A and B are shown apart, each in its own frame.
Chain A
Amino acid sequence: MLFNYIKIAWKVLLRHPFYTFITLFGITLTLTVLMVLTSFIDHLLGSHYPEYKRDKSLYIMNLTIQDSARSSMNNSPLSYNFIKEHIQKLKTPEKVGFSTFVSFANSYLNGKKIKLNTKFCDANFWEVTDYEFLEGKPFNEQNIANGEHVVVITDAIKKQYFEDETASAVGKSIEIDNEKFRVIGVVKAAPVTRLMTFSDVFFPYNLPKSNYQTAGLQGNFTAIVLAKSKSDFKAIQEEFNASVNRIPLPIALYGQKYDVIEVRAQTYTDTVLHTFMSGGREIYFYIGIVFILLILMGLPAINLVNLNVSRIMERASEIGIRKAFGAPSSALAWQFIIENIFITMIGGSFALILTLIIISIFNDSGLILHADLSINFSVFGVSLLVCLVFGLLSGVVPALRMSKMKVIDALKSS
């Protein structure tokens, strides 16, 4: 029977090339939008280079202090001292790495000014992340302890700086902000959207420029806490919170007293969502995100269901005929559901191809530096699920509608 339904669907499609084209075009477009969107979200939030361990990591990005009346607030990344006292001393994590957010530095190449993204990080940063070293190696505790002027650069920067691309850049010197650094390693560049790890050049955190020895809790560092496994998240968070709770209050800063400290070790997704929000109101942000996603995904989805429903309702007379010759409503419902899934799957395959083309164009366009949008297993899975759900949904709705229709009314509606 299944084969028969597919055969009928196939015949119907072939009989109306133009109509089929329009329908498939609509479905393909809709699913492409959904797939590109899914791919984009996955690009932003999924575990990708150089953060393959993202789903096993907690991120600590911000520390907020407030007075008891909550009228005055100060929000900033962490100080090196805070990391040393409250994060590196944690027992539960596997490893803790830290770095600054990206900042900028100028460099001159053949008289031309180049703006570089810079980052200061510790040796563990290279272990909690998965940067691929094409040449050389990361700086280690020893390099840091010695205060060496070393730098890790990306392959993209190497290309800009050194004429001979085939020769190793390791050991060569590079001048940034009027200071000379020795290249110790070359990594494959990461997309700019990896907020916590992206940079063009990476310095040891203790170079004078990083101002790492600022007093207080706040500074310009963020930390990545790698757990032994996801199930340790809770324990890590508890240990971390307990440590933070031991900080004596109130804190004096610029003549102001603060009694509340807010700092969280969160998954990457929560961290990102949190960053756009200040304490307590994130729920609105979630609602906003969900709302935007619903519109972005919902409109094409509704369009898809509509397209399929009208395609079926246009065949009311066929429904009437089949019923007149003994088709139970359930058989018709199955016929249309399978037909819909079939056509949605065809549209889905086209959409997959189209999506691959679009994201490869997007990746090459440089709109997002070093973008690596991809169709991985989960994106594909989500897309497939979306196809199935909408195929099903757009089959069930008309199936329910037509089961209520009297045979004679269906017949006469032609």
Chain B
Amino acid sequence: MIKLSNIEKVYQTSNIETLALNNINIDIKKGEFVSIMGPSGCGKSTLLNIMGLLDEPSNGTIAIDNKPVEKFTDKDLAYLRNQKIGFIFQSFHLINDLSILDNVEIPLLYRTSTNKSRREAAKEALEKVGLSNRMKHFPNQLSGGQKQRVAIARAIVGNPEIILADEPTGNLDSAMGNEILNILLQLNAAGSTIVMVTHDENMAKKTHRLIRLFDGTQVS
């Protein structure tokens, strides 16, 4: 489903060059639940961003459904992000000016849908993460864990085939964390392909496959 070949990512800042990813080869199959682990700064978020078509690698190729994305236009990429991918950011990235409900609706705004169906779908997604009582709130009125759950609701609202989750349970207590993991497991059981970055060995164990990164290199 997602195939990364010889991916390399170099960050160039003033005179320091950081090699964030080095020769990464990953093939994620349809229906797989893959976890990524590694110490802080080893390139996990960078890798996930590249998979989610949010960032471009310095070298190497990405193929989604066997189609290389290099040739895609801005419009094609937007379509893929919208229809295929649901992203959960490590730092949430909610729009502070919009209510929780409006935030969750965002992916649906760029599809053909009615106001009403959008509302319904967003409410349903918020119910799944246990936040239906906070719909009218604004992001800065929520705790870190609650924001994380909004971010999850937004990622799943459009039933994407692929969910990319960057430490989705990093800000949650273990009970809530397990609940979220269960949601992801259910989505996976229902057919979603999931890639999750985590620091929790126990969670990683419940997934199909574990990729370990160290200093930008794939070690297992």
Contact = CB atoms under 8 A, between A and B. Distances in A.
A408 B55 contact: yes
A407 B109 contact: no
B107 A318 contact: no
A324 interface: yes
A324 B54 contact: yes
Contacts of A8: 98
B97 A325 contact: no
A328 interface: yes
Given A11-B102, A318-B95, A403-B74, A325 B107 contact: yes
Given A403-B74, A406-B55, A326 B93 contact: no
A296 B98 CA distance: 38
Interface in A385-414: 403, 406-408, 411, 414
A328 B54 contact: no
Contacts of B54: 324, 406-408, 411
B53 to A, nearest CB: 8
Interface string A319-345: 011111111111100000000000000
B93 A411 contact: yes
B82 interface: yes
B74 A16 contact: no
A194 B168 CA distance: 74
Contact of B81 (A317, A325, A330, A408): A325
A231 to B, nearest CB: 50
B198 to A, nearest CB: 20
Interface size class of A (residues with CB under 8 A): 20 to 34
A4 interface: yes
A105 B98 CA distance: 71
Contact of A326 (B49, B79, B94, B98): B79
Interface size class of B (residues with CB under 8 A): 20 to 34
A4 B118 CA distance: 12
B97 A318 contact: yes
Interface string B80-94: 111100010100011
Nearest to A403: B74
Contacts of B28: none
B82 to A, nearest CB: 2
B97 A324 contact: no
Interface in B32-76: 49, 52-56, 74-75
Contact of A325 (B49, B75, B99, B106): B106
Contacts of A407: 53-55
A408 B80 CA distance: 16
A41 B120 CA distance: 55
Given A318-B95, A323-B81, A328 B52 contact: no
A342 to B, nearest CB: 15
B50 to A, nearest CB: 9
Interface string B105-127: 01101110001000000000000
Closest 10 CB pairs of A and B: A326-B82, A328-B78, A408-B55, A325-B107, A407-B54, A326-B81, A326-B110, A15-B97, A408-B54, A12-B97
11 contacts: A4-B115, A12-B97, A15-B96, A15-B138, A318-B97, A323-B81, A324-B54, A324-B89, A325-B87, A326-B81, A327-B82
Given A11-B98, A16-B97, A326-B107, 8 more contacts: A11-B99, A318-B97, A322-B110, A326-B78, A326-B82, A326-B110, A327-B109, A411-B54
